[in-house]
Structure 1
Amino acid sequence: MPQALIFDVFGTCVDWRSSIARAVAKALPGLDAVAFADAWRAEYQPAMERVRSGGRGYVPLDDLHLENLHRVAARFGVSAPDHLATAWERLDPWPDVPPGLATLHRTHILAPCSNGSIAMMARLARHAALPWDCILGAEIARDYKPKPQVYLASCTALRLPPEHVMMVAAHNDDLAAARAAGLGTAFVARPTEHGPGQTSDLHPSADWDIVAPDFEALAARLQADTNRPGP
């Protein structure tokens, strides 16, 4: 049984698309805010890949988001204010997340294992009522998921072996990387993360340790496993 649960955040815990579109609509009225949000997010992986591949040193995601914001704004023919980049600190949680995490927090250590920086994750936790015990992930590893050291650095920080830590994510590739590093895995689908036409991560792609429809069901499953008599 896991002693700690670490979580992907963007998409798994919070609805980035609706939240970012709302912030864009306020800061840049007259644009297609959803299209802008999708374009901004599309720059996410390429920006991190330059770090993962060694093309540039570690740069916190706050700075990558700001760079990507101006890149996308130029494409849309507008000038975006720098403060719009902080919208990634004010993303709303999926409805099941606060109650599910509150239940899980009674029995497990909880922490993000996100590509977001410590500052970003701390401010997002306050906005979205995410009861983390600590902030883990990219900044302590100085690299980005799915590099194995990001998951392993989180385990090391918790002073737990990987097999006592479970990664929770809505993305199959995240879980595949965590499993390869020796962690437990839990899949919670977010079928509208990318909007109504989403085609990716609708179903588990492997036999993850736990597959649950939401965080409340995940909590119930872990509680049931904890109470199950041993052999």
Structure 2
Amino acid sequence: MTEPAVRRPKALAFDVFGTVVDWRTSIARESAEFLARIGRPDIDPHDFADQWRRRYMPAMATVSSGQRGFVKLDILHREMLEAVLLDRDIDVSTLDPAMLADWTDAWHRLDPWPDAVAGIARLRAAFPVVTLSNGNVSLMIDMARRAGLVWDAILGAEYARAYKPQPAAYLATADALAVEPHDVCLVAAHHSDLAAARGCGLMTAYIDRPMEYGGARAFDADAAQHWEYRADSLTALAEQLGC
């Protein structure tokens, strides 16, 4: 018995960190330079990147829980950076504020995965492609211009004033596109993100990025489900969608 054909989406919404860009390698590369500048080349830059990213979900949870009002991810990234430095017994007050700002902006300078630019271009030939990221608009624009990524719109957390996995982030994206949630397909490398999108009625496309965490098992691997689409690259997803 053959499986029923998967319904074709009307638009594709992309998670960005980890799905489209390689945040870990990029942040480690940039952090190595900054750590050397502050006299701490002994700190492993990949471990530093992991520690910085590990504070991502808890930081957003303070907004989602109502403990604080909505703030852009750039602000959270700066707070997370200072927390990681303090954990390493580095007195942030002795560091140049301009350098800390530039270090925070490393998240604006992430490299795309090798298939990302070509894959998104192929998909964009057949579908509207938008971001559905927790990254703020200026961050997404800087990253896209540097990496050569072309989006039809920058949507997600700042537009919705809500961080994923809050339903508002997914539903506001569908509303902005003037389509029903079930007509939007979230493209993501994270099972937890896809599960939250599915809970809001969106279609799902899983992109396998085994090196997002340097080969380590993803934190949400146990949340895997049977997603509508599954591919090991964005170009492979384009093939599946006939682009």
TM-score bin, normalised by smaller chain: over 0.9
RMSD of the TM alignment (CA)?
Answer: 1.5
**Distance in 2 between the 1:130 and 1:209 partners?**
25
**Can you give the 5+ residue segments of structure 1 that lack an aligned partner in the other structure?**
225-231
TM-score normalised according to structure 1 size: 0.93
**Distance in 2 between the 1:15 and 1:215 partners?**
14
* Correspondence for 1:6: 13
Tell me whether 207-216 or 78-87 shows the greater mean CA deviation. 78-87
Tell me whether 193-202 or 160-169 shows the greater mean CA deviation. 193-202
TM-score normalised according to structure 2 size: 0.89
Q: Does 1:33 align with 2:33?
A: no
Structure 1 residue corresponding to 2:227, chosen from 208, 214, 217:
208
* Correspondence for 1:229: none
Structure 2 residue corresponding to 1:77, chosen from 62, 75, 89:
89
Q: Does 1:45 align with 2:57?
A: yes
The structural deviation recorded for 1:205 is 1.5
* Correspondence for 1:56: 68
Query: Which contiguous aligned blocks of 4+ residues in structure 1 show a shift greater than 3 angstroms?
Result: 199-204
* Correspondence for 2:185: 166
* Correspondence for 2:5: none
Corresponding residue SS for 2:187: strand
Structure 1 residue corresponding to 2:165, chosen from 129, 146, 162:
146
Q: Does 1:98 align with 2:117?
A: yes
**Distance in 1 between the 2:66 and 2:196 partners?**
19
Name the CA shift for 1:169/1:203 in 2 (closer, same or farther; >3 Å).
Answer: farther
**Distance in 2 between the 1:65 and 1:21 partners?**
15
The C-alpha deviation readout for 1:170-201, integer Å capped at 9, x for no partner, is 00110111111111100011111011223445
State the number of aligned residues: 224
The C-alpha deviation readout for 1:134-163, integer Å capped at 9, x for no partner, is 100000111100011100001111111111
* Correspondence for 2:130: 111
Q: Does 1:20 align with 2:20?
A: no
Say whether the 8 Å CA contact 2:192–2:223 is kept in structure 1.
Answer: no
Q: Does 1:183 align with 2:202?
A: yes
Say whether the 8 Å CA contact 1:191–1:202 is kept in structure 2.
Answer: no
**Distance in 2 between the 1:199 and 1:10 partners?**
14
Corresponding residue SS for 2:129: strand
The C-alpha deviation readout for 1:22-67, integer Å capped at 9, x for no partner, is 1101111102111111111111111000001111110110000001
Say whether the 8 Å CA contact 1:189–1:203 is kept in structure 2.
Answer: no
Tell me whether 155-164 or 16-25 shows the greater mean CA deviation. 155-164
**Distance in 1 between the 2:223 and 2:71 partners?**
31
